[in-house]
Amino acid sequence: MKLLTLILLLPILLAVPSCSTSGGNAGNANVQPAPKPASATTVHQTIVVAAGKTFDGGGRAYKAGKKLGDGSQAEGQDPVFLLEPGATLKNVVIAKPAADGVHVKAAAGKTTRVLNCIWTDVGEDALTVMAGNNQSKVLVDSCRFYHADDKVVQVNATAWTTLQNCEAADFGRFARSNGAHGSTDPLAYRIDIEGGQFKDGDTILKMSSPNAQGTVQGIRTTNIKTPIAADNGAKITVSP
C-alpha cells in the first residue's frame, strides 16, 4: 500500500471498534428499544396453541389477566400462551403483566417454535421449556426480552433448545437449565445460544447439573457481569 493511501485510510482504520472475545463477545450489543404497545388484549385463560398449529399475532399485544398471575417473582403463575409439541407462536408482543409468559412443550421428532415475539416487561420468567426429550427441539428465533427481575428462558426438560438471534436488556439470567436439583439432577439439558445481543444483565447462560451442555456463539454483549456460569460439572463452550 502506498504511503499516501495509508495516510488517507488511517482515520477509517482507527474508527473500527475493536472486538473482545471474552464470554463469546463478538462486539458491543446494540439492542433495539422496547416497543410501547398502545393497547393489549387481556388473556383470562391461557391460550393453547395446539400441536402442529401456528398462532400469528400479527404484531398485536397480549397481557395476563389476574387469574394467570401478576408477573411478580411468585412461582406457580400460569402462562399467557402454551405451545403443544410442534406448534409455532409468532409476531406476538407480551405486555405487562406477563405472568409466566410462554410455556413450550416439545416431543420426539418435533420442533416447537417461537419466532419474532417481544416481551416488554418479563414476568416471573419469559419462556419455559416444560417437556421434551433429547429427540425433540425448541427453537426461539429473533425474539426480544426486556426487564427480567431474574430469569428469561427457563429450561426444565431435555428438549434441545436453540436461542437464535435474540435480544435482551436488563435481566438476571438470560437462559437457565433447571437448577432445583443441582448436582443430583441426572437430566442432560442442552441449550445453544447462537448470535444475538445482550446488555445490562448478570449472566447469559447458567447450567448447574452434571450432564448439562451448552454452547454460546457469536453474541454481542455490553455490561454483562458474569457471562457464563457452569457448576457441578455442566459444560458450556463459548466461541466468538
Site string for Ca ion, 119-138 (x = CB under 5 A): -----xx-------------
Q: Which is nearer to ligand ADA, 31 or 84 (CB)?
A: 84
Q: Which is nearer to ligand ADA, 112 or 156 (CB)?
A: 156
Separation between Cα atoms, residue 18 and residue 31, nearest integer Å: 19
Binding partner selected for residue 161 from ligand ADA, Ca ion, none, CB under the kind-specific 5 to 8 Å limit: none
- CB nearer to ligand ADA: give 156 or 197: 156
CA 234, chain centre distance (Å): 19
Residue 57 β-bridge partners:
none
Output DSSP code: residue 182. Answer: G
Q: 118-119 and 137-141 as β-strands: parallel, antiparallel, unpaired?
A: unpaired
Cα–Cα distances (Å) from 66 to 97, 99, 147, in that order, read 9, 9, 20
CB of 120 to Ca ion, least distance (A): 18
Residue 180 interacts with, from ligand ADA, Ca ion, none (CB under 5-8 Å by kind) = ligand ADA
Given Ca ion, ligand ADA, none, residue 197, with its beta carbon under 5 to 8 Å by kind, binds: none
Backbone angles phi, psi at 5, to 5 degrees: -60, -45
**Number of shown-chain residues binding ligand ADA (CB under 6 A):** 8
Grid cell at residue 57? 399475532
Site for ligand ADA in 102-161 (CB under 6 A): 124-125, 128, 154, 156
